[in-house]
Structure 1
Amino acid sequence: MEKQKLYERLQELHRELENTSSVDERTEEVLERLKNDISKLVREEASIEEEQEGLTRNLSEAVSHFDEEHPRLSMAIQYVLDSLARMGF
């Protein structure tokens, strides 16, 4: 059940990332890293367990980066982090 919720949140976050526009170079790097991580998981090319460390690190960095300029995106990222935490990651 919790894993299904996580996948739903990942898909939601992926849509938010795709719709984010007008960003600087650093933000573009953060977005690309997250899109790649999430895309692998959503397509189930990797398991959460395999990608957990990098994903958690990238998500945490992104929350800080997007907090002021993209609060909606930051909130979506935080939901994913919360889901990972509830799953013990």
Structure 2
Amino acid sequence: MEQQKLLALLEELHQELEKTETVDVKTGEVLASLKEDIGKLVREESSIEDGQEGLSRNLSEALDHFEEDHPKISMAIQYVLDSLARMGL
């Protein structure tokens, strides 16, 4: 159940990221990295456990980057991080 919820949150985050217009090089790099990681997990190219370490690191970095200018994305990222923590990942 928790993994299904996490996948739903990842899909929601992926949709929010798709709506974000790139305004600078760093934002573009962060978006591209997150989209790739999330895309792999959503399409089940890797399991949550296999992709968790890189995803968690990228999410934490993205949270810091988007916190001020993109509050909806920051909130979605925090939900995903919280879900990973609840799953013990």
Alpha-carbon separation, structure 2, partners of 1:17 and 1:48: 19
Q: Distance in 1 between matches of 2:42 and 2:51?
A: 12
Q: Does the CA contact (< 8 Å) of 2:2 and 2:83 recur in 1?
A: yes
> 2:35 — aligned with what?
35
- Supply the AA of the counterpart residue of 2:68: E
Residue deviations 1:14-41 (CA, integer Å, cap 9, x gap): 0000000142110000000000000000
**Number of positions where the alignment pairs a residue of Structure 1 with one of Structure 2:** 89
For residues 5-20 of structure 1, what are the structure 2 equivalents within 5 Å? 5-20=5-20
Give the aligned partner of residue 65 of structure 1. Answer: 65
- What code does the residue aligned with 2:56 have? T
Give the AA of the match of 2:45: E
Percentage of identical aligned residues? 70
Structure 1 runs (4+) deviating above 3 angstroms are none
- Stretches of structure 2 lacking an aligned partner (at least 5 in a row): none
| Structure 1, unpaired ranges of 5+ | none
CA contact (8 A) 2:22 2:28 kept: no
The two structures have a TM-score, normalised by structure 2, of 0.98
Q: Is the counterpart of residue 86 in structure 1 residue 86 in structure 2?
A: yes
Whole-angstrom distance in 2 between the partners of 1:50 and 1:61: 19
1:52 matches 2:52: yes
1:86 maps to a residue whose letter is R
Q: What is the TM-score normalised by the length of structure 1?
A: 0.98
Measured on the aligned residues, the alpha-carbon RMSD in Å equals 0.6
